[in-house]
Chains A and B, each alone.
Chain A
Amino acid sequence: MIVPDNIVRSTCPYCGVGCQVDMHIKDDRIYRVTAPFDSAPNYGNLCVKGRFGMDFVNHPRRLRTPLIRKELGGQRQPVGLDGFRPATWEEALDMAASRLAQLVTRRGGDAIGTYASAKATNEDNYVFQKFVRAVLHTNNVDHCSRLCHSGSVTGLQLAIGSSAMSNSIAEMEHLDTFIVTGSNTTETHPVISLSLKAAVRRHGAKLIVVDPRQIEMVDFATLWLRQRPGTDVAVFSAMAHVIVQEGLVNREFLAARTEGFEEYKSTLQEMTPEWAAGVSGVPAEDIRRAARMYAEAQAAAIYWGMGISQSTHGTENALCLANLALMTGQIGRPGTGLNPLRGQNNVQGASDSGALPPFLTTYQRVDDPAARQRFEAAWGVPLSTVPGLTVTEMVDGALAGDIKGMYIMGENPLLTEPYLSHSRHAMAELDFVLFQDIFLNETGEYADVVLPARSFAEKDGTFVNSDRRVQRGRQAVAPVGASRADWDITCDLARRIEQKLGRNRSAGFAYDNAEEIWDEMRSVTPDFGGITYERLEREGGVHWPCPSLEHPGTPYLFADTFPRGKGKFWPVTYGTLSELPDEEYPFVLSTGRVLYHWHGGTLSRHSVLDQIYPEAVVEIHPDDARSLAIATGDWLEVVSRRGHITARALVTARSPEGVIFIPFHFAEAAANELTQNTIDPRAKIPDFKLCAVRIARAEIPADRNASPIPLTDRGAIKDPLSVR
């Protein structure tokens, strides 16, 4: 029996649920992870990633020292670890500072694009965006939330003026009626799914699932609307049509809290359930039943994920959901509301910390003089007033020659961007690439200088989970090699560049610890004003907004008013899909995640999790498989207009006929080789959930080994609909 040297309370590094974990440490290793039973949001529960997937921290391939590319200059090619030489921090940081300072001098800061990180702490992200804004003098700072929830953010900002989840996770178990749409909750937010399952099984809540895939939540649903991919707007608009037609609108709420309803109502005339049934394949009667269940409920909430936002009409999808909540008054009370389930463990926090092109901390706009002046006063430097480029625009900017350098902290865009060959071409065009992470991933292979960062278990800081709860991350083990905390690296780089640019006054990059950074954030961010490290120590977590030390925090939002004043209805039109299947590319491809892996795979593929799910699969419907003579385990080549990959088939009725599904975690068969970079015009989010592909039987690629144990025998595929 092992007696732990130490048990350290921290926040799980995987998803946006933000589970509290107790890491049991012996000889500087995490050997066991448990969860406190008395703490929100997880009350003792974890999923496989949090419970067992922390061993990436000590993986032998962790970056231990700064690296510099051996062959600098010339056409940029991706290289592995042997393409780099070890360097001292002094040499690596000085080279990075010189090259970035040169770019600022010659072309201006707007020629540099930067990726902050939804995996790094609030403190890391705050320092990062401060560096970009105050030293590089550009607002070109963004992160992967662009690729996940920008559709939801844009839609909710338009409708109510705030994009955070309106309800706390703790409320979920006591729901009355709720909709889950575009979220495979049991795999992507496993611990939240436990509360949703309990709401149904223990408290008799009614669940409506709106999703093309027969996900596990369907087993708990009263009603399942299986729409064709990309037809969400039709289904939700028809629900709104029914609510109007049958007089189920909440007149009182409409009058007191909203505007623009009459104009919106007139656009619903043609959007009948029968019309929607033709477009989406959902029976008209089911749309009617869903509309009544939602509108007539005592309290009804909506939960959604990437299926809503990752679309060329992601903003419209989110607006549809907001319209439903506003017309029925299902918002502003416990158990009601609009809840985008955030992906990364700190995607909410990275956004809140100002790592977005138009926003300083907690959505204070760079083009709002009052907000900007608060930061200019605090930092002592003038700031750019022009909102910067988004990640998708930075890639295009690199190809156009406008972006010449990139600084990437803790992200892997060359696995998570759509249309990867396009992104790789962009990366190859750059003059200088600075990369900072805990492993050398697909993106790092393009770097000139690689800086080794500390993992979540080796540093202090704060994270913000999906329901706006600010929680502590705490150092549990000694840092690996010469690695340094992200904020510490960025500060050092910032000071060097300020010196090279001859700035006579620093914007302030001399912090002794993470708490000092947090206290500076609080001083410029009224919404964080009442949240101190001392308070987090005592209370475990505090939901922002929390303006003062006496304020209890805000578990649910919009009780009396919306941030934009009145909730606004926005007419939504049903547009054409971004790429339709045709004779040459007859299948629709949808991408997503699985329980055992995490996004770009930088963490999970370096952990024991990769043992149970070591390869990509192509989910294909039994009828399609039969007509193509495909069986589970067969190698398939999947081809789109943009690229091709090879992976093995999993025959399952989970996705409908004509639709295949591929998880995007696997670099050797990267689903994003196939996806398209067509974007939502307002949110700039690409359409990851829909593109046209063709499929053919293939041989195993020469550079891959067939795993001796088929994926279906490893225990990861719990799919009763699959055909072995």
Chain B
Amino acid sequence: MDNSHPMIELTIDGQTVQAAPGSTILQAAHSIGIDIPVICYHEATTPNAVCRICTVEVTGQRTLLPACVAQVAPGMQVQTQSERARRSRKVILELLASTVDLAEAPEIQAQMADYQADPQRYDGTRREAGYFDDNPFYIRDYDKCILCWRCMQVCADDAQYVNALTLGGRGFDSHIATFYDQPMPDTSCVFCGQCLGVCPTGALKPKRQALMEQGQPEDVIWLATRPPRRKERKP
């Protein structure tokens, strides 16, 4: 933290806290042990406030503010658990559950329990963004993707600087893609797997793990380290 400037004083859930100028509400809350739920936020990536689960109520502000990017200000009064903030989180979780397969996202499932979110509340269209098994190292199961952007970020300036991933489509059809939808071997991907390390939903996983989950015996898994195949649907 920068010590050359005076600290900023604000209150979070009634507690007074001192925070460095430029720090976020999330960081300030964390420093006094107040937990604000996050999904797209990750310590290794630049926060983008994509998922809005961390939004909090700030007195005098018309809208809820995303704690992962909103900076502290003198005298700010923050409520992380106001009824409005909690209702917003519940709806976000219910909308996510209505379209995406969250079976392998234990942290989001725990949040759903916390906020008593009903996964059946909205009868949404399921996302079918494709299952890609196109290289010897990992698979991409985009039906499980919640578009948190973390994979794209570590592929770019938050770690690897190779930019193999991008956003494709618009609106509901938005999805993580490669340029021109090329199979991974034809992109700039160097198979570092930083994306697997930050994926919160099991959409990205090692090929070996995917085959084990399908119940494949060891000898089949060995043979499956075969030449890369092209885009395929889930078996």
> Once the chains bind, are A51 and B196 in contact (CB under 8 Å)?
yes
> Once the chains bind, are B185 and A611 in contact (CB under 8 Å)?
no
Of the stretches B11-19, B112-120, B125-133, B157-165, the one at the interface is B157-165
Secondary structure call for the B interface: loop
Distance in angstroms from A601 CB to nearest chain B CB is 16
Query: How far, in whole Å, are A32 and B212 apart by their CA atoms in the complex?
Result: 11
> Once the chains bind, are A708 and B44 in contact (CB under 8 Å)?
no
Query: How far, in whole Å, are A46 and B191 apart by their CA atoms in the complex?
Result: 10
> Once the chains bind, are B225 and A194 in contact (CB under 8 Å)?
no
> Once the chains bind, are B197 and A715 in contact (CB under 8 Å)?
no
Contact pick for B43, options A2, A34, A37, CB 8 Å: A37
With A1-B213, A197-B161, A611-B226 as known contacts, state yes or no: A46 contacts B193, CB within 8 Å: yes
Contact pick for A26, options B103, B136, B192, B212, CB 8 Å: B212
Residues of A within 8 A of B189 (CB): 715
Query: How far, in whole Å, are A612 and B190 apart by their CA atoms in the complex?
Result: 11
> Once the chains bind, are B209 and A34 in contact (CB under 8 Å)?
no
> Once the chains bind, are A202 and B192 in contact (CB under 8 Å)?
no
In this assembly, does B104 line the interface, its C-beta being within 8 Å of a C-beta of chain A? Answer: yes
Distance in angstroms from B135 CB to nearest chain A CB is 6
Contact pick for B209, options A32, A38, A47, A718, CB 8 Å: A32
Distance in angstroms from A531 CB to nearest chain B CB is 28
> Once the chains bind, are B213 and A714 in contact (CB under 8 Å)?
no
With A32-B209, A595-B190, A611-B227 as known contacts, state yes or no: A715 contacts B159, CB within 8 Å: no
> Once the chains bind, are A48 and B225 in contact (CB under 8 Å)?
no
With A48-B190, A708-B227 as known contacts, state yes or no: A194 contacts B161, CB within 8 Å: yes
- Chain A stretch 598-620: residues in CB contact (< 8 A) with chain B: 608, 611-612
With A31-B208, A52-B138, A611-B226 as known contacts, state yes or no: A45 contacts B192, CB within 8 Å: yes
Residues of B within 8 A of A55 (CB): 208, 225
Distance in angstroms from B178 CB to nearest chain A CB is 12
Distance in angstroms from B75 CB to nearest chain A CB is 33
Residues of B within 8 A of A708 (CB): 227
Distance in angstroms from B153 CB to nearest chain A CB is 12
Residues of B within 8 A of A58 (CB): 218
Distance in angstroms from B198 CB to nearest chain A CB is 8
Query: How far, in whole Å, are A45 and B212 apart by their CA atoms in the complex?
Result: 24
Contact with B along A487-517 (1 / 0, CB 8 A): 0000000000000000000000000000000
Residues of A within 8 A of B137 (CB): 48, 51-52, 608, 612
In this assembly, does B202 line the interface, its C-beta being within 8 Å of a C-beta of chain A? Answer: yes
With A608-B137, A708-B227 as known contacts, state yes or no: A51 contacts B192, CB within 8 Å: yes
Most buried by B among A43, A46, A51, A713: A51
Distance in angstroms from A392 CB to nearest chain B CB is 34
Query: How far, in whole Å, are A60 and B218 apart by their CA atoms in the complex?
Result: 11
> Once the chains bind, are A190 and B208 in contact (CB under 8 Å)?
no
Distance in angstroms from A57 CB to nearest chain B CB is 12
Interface residue count on the B side (C-beta < 8 Å):
39
In this assembly, does B184 line the interface, its C-beta being within 8 Å of a C-beta of chain A? Answer: yes
> Once the chains bind, are A608 and B104 in contact (CB under 8 Å)?
no
Residues of A within 8 A of B197 (CB): 34-35, 37, 44-46, 51
> Once the chains bind, are B159 and A194 in contact (CB under 8 Å)?
yes
Distance in angstroms from A8 CB to nearest chain B CB is 16
- Chain A stretch 17-51: residues in CB contact (< 8 A) with chain B: 26, 29, 31-35, 37-38, 43-48, 51
With A1-B213, A31-B212, A37-B43 as known contacts, state yes or no: A52 contacts B104, CB within 8 Å: no
Contact pick for A1, options B188, B202, B207, CB 8 Å: B202
Most buried by B among A37, A38, A44, A709: A44
> Once the chains bind, are A32 and B206 in contact (CB under 8 Å)?
yes
> Once the chains bind, are B185 and A713 in contact (CB under 8 Å)?
yes
In this assembly, does B194 line the interface, its C-beta being within 8 Å of a C-beta of chain A? Answer: yes
In this assembly, does B181 line the interface, its C-beta being within 8 Å of a C-beta of chain A? Answer: no
Specify the chain B residue showing the minimal Cβ separation from A713. Answer: B185
> Once the chains bind, are A709 and B227 in contact (CB under 8 Å)?
yes
Query: How far, in whole Å, are A43 and B213 apart by their CA atoms in the complex?
Result: 28
> Once the chains bind, are B103 and A194 in contact (CB under 8 Å)?
no
Residues of B within 8 A of A47 (CB): 190, 192
Query: How far, in whole Å, are A60 and B193 apart by their CA atoms in the complex?
Result: 25
> Once the chains bind, are A2 and B213 in contact (CB under 8 Å)?
yes
With A43-B44, A714-B185 as known contacts, state yes or no: A48 contacts B193, CB within 8 Å: yes
Most buried by A among B138, B188, B197, B198: B197
Residues of A within 8 A of B213 (CB): 1-2
Distance in angstroms from B173 CB to nearest chain A CB is 27
With A32-B205, A611-B136 as known contacts, state yes or no: A2 contacts B212, CB within 8 Å: yes
Query: How far, in whole Å, are A47 and B194 apart by their CA atoms in the complex?
Result: 8
- Chain A stretch 181-209: residues in CB contact (< 8 A) with chain B: 190, 194, 197, 201-202
- Chain B stretch 143-199: residues in CB contact (< 8 A) with chain A: 157, 159-161, 184-186, 188-194, 196-198
Query: How far, in whole Å, are A458 and B191 apart by their CA atoms in the complex?
Result: 26
Specify the chain A residue showing the minimal Cβ separation from B138. Answer: A52
> Once the chains bind, are B206 and A52 in contact (CB under 8 Å)?
yes
Residues of A within 8 A of B225 (CB): 55, 608, 611
Query: How far, in whole Å, are A687 and B193 apart by their CA atoms in the complex?
Result: 35
Contact pick for A52, options B161, B184, B193, B198, CB 8 Å: B193
Residues of B within 8 A of A2 (CB): 209, 212-213
> Once the chains bind, are A201 and B157 in contact (CB under 8 Å)?
yes
Query: How far, in whole Å, are A262 and B189 apart by their CA atoms in the complex?
Result: 51
- Chain A stretch 702-718: residues in CB contact (< 8 A) with chain B: 708-709, 713-715, 718
> Once the chains bind, are A715 and B135 in contact (CB under 8 Å)?
yes
Contact with B along A670-694 (1 / 0, CB 8 A): 0000000000000000000000000
Distance in angstroms from A51 CB to nearest chain B CB is 4
Query: How far, in whole Å, are A612 and B183 apart by their CA atoms in the complex?
Result: 14
* Ranked 6 nearest A-B pairs via Cβ: A715-B185, A51-B193, A48-B191, A611-B136, A608-B225, A52-B137
Could you name 16 residue pairs across A and B whose Cβ atoms are closer than 8 Å? A31-B208, A32-B208, A32-B209, A35-B197, A46-B193, A48-B190, A48-B191, A48-B192, A48-B193, A51-B192, A52-B137, A58-B218, A611-B225, A611-B228, A714-B227, A718-B190
Contacts A37-B197, A202-B157 supplied; 17 other A-B pairs, CB < 8 Å: A2-B209, A29-B212, A32-B209, A37-B44, A44-B194, A44-B197, A48-B192, A51-B206, A190-B190, A611-B136, A612-B135, A612-B137, A612-B191, A612-B228, A709-B227, A709-B228, A714-B185
